[in-house]
Amino acid sequence: MNVVTRFAPSPSGSLHIGGARTALFNFLYAKAKGGIFKIRIENTDSKRGSEESIQNILQSLEWLGVNTDQEIIYQNKNFDKHVKVSKLLLEKKLAYKCYLNNDEISILQKKKRENNSKIESIWRNKVESDHPKNKDYVVRLKVPENETIVINDLIQGTIKVKSKEIDDFIILRSDKTPTFLLSSAVDDIEMNITDVLRGDDHLTNTFRQYYIYKFLKPDLPNFSHIPLIHNELGKKLSKRDNVTSIEDLRSQGYLKEAVVNYLLRLGWSNKNKEFFTLNEAKKVFDLRAIGKSPAMIDEKKMISLNSHYMKSLPINKIFALLIKEIEKNDFKLDKDKKDKIFILLKPLIERANNIIDLFKLSIFIYNNDEKIIGKENIEIITNSSSYKDNIIKGLIKCEWKKEILDEFFKNFVKEQGISFGLIGKPLRLILTKRLTSPSITFVMEVMGKKEVIKRLKDIW
């Protein structure tokens, strides 16, 4: 049987690191096995879900390259099937109507806490003739007694739980809407899912859903529970950690190649290899290589990976991304400006960790509106202003080539008896608005004589 996996997000926000990693692992496992990867949007809760969230999740997955092999499934369209299954389970005496009110449930929950026992409804074994008329009820699954649930988890190993520890959980609410536990399992069966890969915070759900799968289909899917991601303090990620979304990383200028590599290495490894493309990972991904311990967020690692891909990806790709970022910030570029950016791009990339860095580092090429700020920077320009006129006069006479400019400055500092830093720093500040830049004479050559002289006269 071909492997079929799925990623089933609830559309209640952006696609965050944990969800993205789960989607990636499901995608790669299916591809490594020559199988099929599907996406299901679990949007039955209209109060929590939103169309905006759905689009954000799908766009983030597409950006990562984690694409479904078939049409996307929207769970709310299967509502009638879920209800039908609940009725079928009732007919087969595998579920029952429960008429407990809130006060009665509270008493049972208190008893459960005090005695570490399961909630047992008095309606479990009642016959239909004992049921009240015109009273609201929920449908509970009748979990078998005195059985051992065995999950041969492909990551965690064999896990056993006594069925007596599992409550008769609700599968249909009193308003006749199905619960997640029912809908998710029914859809897995309808979609022919062979392997369920999800976070280990779903282990309890797996033990509950075990009997839904078992009651409806003889062959259960394989289960694999991925250890969660912890923050840098080693604690489970929470909303207080401001968990980064894929959209955030994208807007911060991170490359998808770096993000995929980062997600992949959060708990998975292959022969200590550090860098993986998506296509490389498809060929070697193996669930057995996922660690049993939680992975840990590492911002420095993310920055390092992105810096690596900035330098190693084809320069035309980085150039295209930079131009897109420049235009997104409402700068209009003619061919001359684009050519200058491309010529200076390689040394600028060496100084950038991401596309936003690159945008900030390159802005001087096509825009001179940025102000020089900081008392120390102002003093650098002021303290060197006595050299301005002679430098400008000399530059006007120069042939505009880097080698000629290098020779001019070499002779100038020698004649003046000064270090190059005394004029190099103000030149960098005036031309690039920064104290660090590629070779300043290379920058001058690319910017052009007219533009350089103009900036020196305007600011120095």
Mean pLDDT across 384-398: 95
86-98 pLDDT, tens digit each? 999 999 999 999 9
pLDDT at 121 over 80: yes
pTM over 0.85: yes
245-267 pLDDT, tens digit each? 999 999 999 999 999 999 999 99
410-443 pLDDT, tens digit each? 999 999 999 999 999 999 999 999 999 999 999 9
pLDDT at 67 over 70: yes
343-371 pLDDT, tens digit each? 999 999 999 999 999 999 999 999 998 88
pLDDT value at residue 120: 82
Angle between helices 440-447 and 335-349 (to 10 degrees): 170
pLDDT at 273 over 70: yes
pLDDT value at residue 234: 80
274-330 pLDDT, tens digit each? 999 999 999 999 999 999 999 999 999 999 999 999 999 999 999 999 999 999 999
Angstrom CA distances, 258 to 141, 263, 299, 395, stand at 45, 9, 12, 43
Mean pLDDT across 161-182: 95
Amino acid (one-letter) located at 402: K
212-241 pLDDT, tens digit each? 999 999 899 999 999 999 988 788 776 666
pLDDT value at residue 371: 87
pLDDT bin (cut points 50, 70, 90) of residue 108 is: confident
C-alpha–C-alpha distance, residues 334 and 439, integer Å: 24
pLDDT bin (cut points 50, 70, 90) of residue 187 is: very high
